[in-house]
Amino acid sequence: MSEQPSHGERDAGMTSVQARALEWAIIGLCVAALLMVFQPFSLRLYGIGAGLVVLGGLAFNLVPLCRPGVPLSSVAKAALVVVALLLVVAGLAIGSAWLYGLYLHSQQQ
């Protein structure tokens, strides 16, 4: 008879090595983004770095979850919440800028 792991054993969480690796990957992404932004040689690297700064800033919200025993699924859920909030805030900002443009256009006529 094959024994299947219980729900608690399946979601035992990250090991300390996995948690540390995820934490350092996020920190490395942020450092790489800053290096790309502040390098004086290439505008293309600056553009990539500017995008990575936003991504790294959002990913840095996940660092408190990089602890041993925390399931990777909860880190993924938190990442989805952060991305959803980004999309909502970006949508509100773009929508308000569009409405302000309509307002300015109506004032010129």
Dist CA 101 CA 77 (whole Å): 36
Q: Which residues contact 60 (CB under 8 A, 6 or more apart)?
A: 26, 30
pLDDT of residue 2: 47
What pLDDT shows up at residue 10?
A: 59
Structural domains of the chain, count: 1
pTM of the model: 0.73
Query: What is the mean pLDDT for each group of 10 consecutive residues in the chain (109 residues)?
Result: 51 88 95 94 94 91 93 93 91 97 91
- Find the domain containing 68 and state its range: 7-108
Q: Which residue type sits at 42?
A: S
Domain assignment present for 2? no
Residue 1 included in any domain: no
Cα gap 34→21, rounded to integer Å: 20
Residue 2, number of CB atoms within 10 A of its CB = 3
Instruction: Report the distance separating Cα 72 and Cα 98, nearest Å.
Output: 39
Residue 45 placed within a domain: yes
Half-sphere exposure of 22 (CA within 13 A, CB side): 22
- Asked whether residue 65 is assigned to any structural domain, the reply reads yes
